DNA sequence: CTTGAATGATACGGGACCGAAACAATATAA
DNA sequence: TTATATTGTTTCGGTCCCGTATCATTCAAG
């Protein structure tokens, strides 16, 4: 069954996440970092810097720097592609998976209090 | 009827919004600006700088500056409270309402392609 | 082997945002 | 009226992110 979500409900979910972000209830990620994180965790591998830059419509340095930050947070990791050592493959981590799971749980938990 | 939303669906919705944000499919708002916008448009008036600062858990200058930016974008407007001229009341605008509506429509449109 | 293309990282100048502190305007209390 | 409190704004120094341009490494073609 397809989900039935009304605009007001969708916006309330978004507000919930925004408030949680602002109120330090979760690590602060920029929109770009969030887009990268969810792409890496929700779409099939492999993920490269160039591929992510193309998908997000931004330049490569944006991806490199976001990976620096998120790598320091332990949310993703980088590995050289042994088949083509020019490529860098972005991989998931345990911490990152936990973060994404917690993010999903947050939305689910708050969605139970949504206006109809 | 309460909505039934699974974690994967919630995360996909979030990814959709994040990608739209990053790809300039809509005006770029920070998380704080988004939280302010949705609070003003989804919660009952009146809204003051102090009230928003308390709700978001940030300092007042953060609200003032966000209102500067969003005011320039035409998403909200400021008016002195005539009952107590120390207060500034934040009000909705036509442009802001359109933006919020478009945001809701975006999520709804994309949600039809969600994995079950 | 050498040359050119492709990939990711770095350097740099500019812009936006942050929190703390100081400030101006208004309201309330003594 | 004068002093104190409240509200929102501005200033300050600092941090982070952006895009352009450049660089280093690796691959592929001649």
**Is a pLDDT exceeding 70 seen at residue B39?**
yes
In chain B, positions 30-89 with C-beta closer than 7 Å to nucleic chain C are: 30, 32-33, 58-62, 65-66, 69, 84-86
**Is a pLDDT exceeding 90 seen at residue A87?**
yes
Pick from A51, A28, A57: nearest CA to B22: A57
Distance CA A112, CA A93 (A): 29
Of A14, A28, A35, the CB nearest to B15: A35
Cα-based distances in Å from A26 to A37, A102, A106, B29: 14, 9, 10, 19
Q: What is the pLDDT of residue A115?
A: 60
**Is a pLDDT exceeding 90 seen at residue A5?**
no
Q: What is the pLDDT of residue A82?
A: 93
For chain A, the average pLDDT equals: 90
In chain A, positions 37-96 with C-beta closer than 7 Å to nucleic chain C are: 48-51, 60-61, 63-65, 67-68, 78, 86-88
Q: What is the pLDDT of residue A1?
A: 40
The string of pLDDT tens digits covering residues B54-106 is 999 999 999 999 999 999 999 999 999 999 999 999 999 999 999 999 999 98
Q: What is the pLDDT of residue B2?
A: 46
In the block, tokens 């320091």 appear at: A72
pLDDT (mean) for A49-70: 96
Pick from A102, A11, A45: nearest CA to B11: A102
Distance CA B38, CA A27 (A): 21
Pick from B71, B89, B81, B80: nearest CA to B33: B71
Query: Given CA atoms A37, A113, A8, A24 in this order, what sign does their dihedral have?
Result: negative
Distance CA B85, CA B47 (A): 14
List chain B domain ranges.
28-102
CATH (residue range A28-102): 1.10.10.10
Q: Where are the alpha helices (DSSP H) in chain B?
A: 7-22, 31-42, 49-56, 60-73, 94-111
**In chain B, what percentage of residues exceed pLDDT 90?**
76
Alpha carbon B91 to its chain's center: 12
Cα-based distances in Å from A111 to A10, A116, B54: 9, 10, 23
Kind plus residue range of the DSSP H or E element containing B88: strand B88-92
Pick from A93, A100, A88: nearest CA to A75: A93
Q: What is the pLDDT of residue B116?
A: 55
For the beta carbon of residue A13, count every other beta carbon within 10 angstroms: 25
pLDDT (mean) for A8-33: 89
Residue B5, SS3?
coil
Q: Which residue of B has its CA nearest to A13?
A: B10
């Amino acid at each position: 069954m397809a989900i039935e979500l009304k605009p007001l409900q969708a916006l309330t979910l978004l507000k919930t996440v925004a408030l949680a972000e602002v109120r330090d209830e979760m690590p602060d990620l920029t929109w770009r970092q969030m887009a990268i994180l969810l792409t890496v965790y929700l779409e099939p591998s492999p993920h490269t810097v160039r591929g992510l830059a193309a998908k997000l419509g931004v330049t490569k340095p944006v991806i490199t720097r976001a990976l620096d930050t998120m790598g320091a947070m332990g949310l993703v990791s980088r590995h050289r592609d042994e088949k083509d050592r020019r490529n860098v493959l972005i991989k998931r981590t345990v911490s990152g998976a936990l973060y994404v799971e917690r993010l999903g749980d947050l939305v689910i938990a708050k969605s139970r209090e949504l206006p109809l």
